[in-house]
Structure 1
């Protein structure tokens, strides 16, 4: 019981931190520079521009009914944590903008998009990794992710992009939409760093005529005992080639290139991010 309680309290603490960080990104960087974001904050910024209603009030008005209608799909625990996140974000945003009236930290739209987007992404990451949602489209994304193989983060960004495109029709200049798109991209980067962590390893595919010798050199020089060798043939010539797949630290990628160049100058190397690892 104590373990479960501690786990739940930790979740709520992380949601609190994430909500305040997200609200700070909206209040200090986006709203003053007429830049929108994705999700409910973005919708609230657009509506605030027309109506003058507080950003927090608009977020509550949009989110609470949506959460209540979706409770049977997302579960009570998830719903309660989501409601807590929504309330924290709304109250923090109104506290910063309406009550304390903090000035904008920058009047430069580029800086507003960069730092606003990153703060929102970091805040989202804390909330989502704590089994909650900041509301709005992310509730829809969470439901779709549970039923499909799509990643929740990718779905959120797709829905957010649609909201941001609306900024081009709302704000007086097209610049606002372009800055907003930059902000959404940086939000995705901040979100992925918190959820997946910064990739510290690379997945490397090596196509070689001398796969066995290359494998021996890699193990000898890198001390790498993992990896797989697959035998196959090229599409056009039908020549037999080996395909090596291995995971290495970022710092060893250059060494792999040098080993392949020395052992097989015709070898082909493809390097990819290993952003989610399990079982190693």
Structure 2
């Protein structure tokens, strides 16, 4: 029963597995929706989109590889459990972003709707991961560390970093696409900033 046992301040193993898989599924669906509308997002996912649009590389593979350098920071600052969970979430999300386009087809996606719903899906997926002490790697690791260390809201920290990535998007995208991508990033990060607070949700 150890896998099922949970306490008011700690998730069980089964709860962690469900939370990480569900969060990864939501994030991958959000990425698929943004990709269908040729939009971008911030963070390492945004860098993955940039390389995909500019060089035709696989988003899933690039996203997985871009996150590799951040695991050392995660291990040193946030512990082995967080690092393993995050590696798993990134791997599952990367795999699903490659599989989903063959399973779900968006024949027509309004770009504004894609920005709002895609950003919300990714933000909700990341929220689930954060609450199980995991993330989608990259800037999320840094954002969580700064929140734990200094009390800065993870959503606002990541929003600032995302804006840097989106600024680079001017090299490959039109101003309209970038404006809608900023909308997606804002939706994502406001979802985190409003809903994720360590003083409200303390389960580890």
Matched with 1:256 is none
More helix by share: 2
Q: Alignment partner of 1:166: what SS?
A: helix
Q: How many residues align?
A: 196
Q: Which runs of 4+ in 1 moved over 3 A?
A: 275-278
Structure 2: gaps spanning 5 or more residues: none
- Cα distance in 2 for residues equivalent to 1:33 and 1:181: 14
- Cα distance in 2 for residues equivalent to 1:106 and 1:124: 26
Calculate the aligned-residue CA RMSD, in Å.
2.4
77-86 vs 4-13, greater mean Cα deviation: 4-13
Matched with 1:65 is 69
More strand by share: 1
The correspondence for 2:30, drawn from 19, 25, 28, is 25
Q: 1:12-46: per-residue Cα shift (whole Å, max 9, x none)? A: 2111101111110111x211222111222211111
- Cα distance in 1 for residues equivalent to 2:147 and 2:23: 21
Relative to structure 1, the CA distance from residue 90 to residue 116 in structure 2 (aligned partners, 3 Å threshold; closer, same or farther) is same
- Cα distance in 2 for residues equivalent to 1:86 and 1:105: 27
Deviation at 1:145, TM superposition (A): 2.0
Matched with 1:190 is 191
Larger RCO of the pair (alpha carbons < 8 Å, separation 6+): 2
- Cα distance in 2 for residues equivalent to 1:69 and 1:6: 24
TM-score (norm 2): 0.86
Matched with 2:20 is 15
Relative to structure 1, the CA distance from residue 76 to residue 109 in structure 2 (aligned partners, 3 Å threshold; closer, same or farther) is same
Deviation at 1:9, TM superposition (A): 2.2
Q: Alignment partner of 2:69: what SS?
A: helix
TM-score (norm 1): 0.64
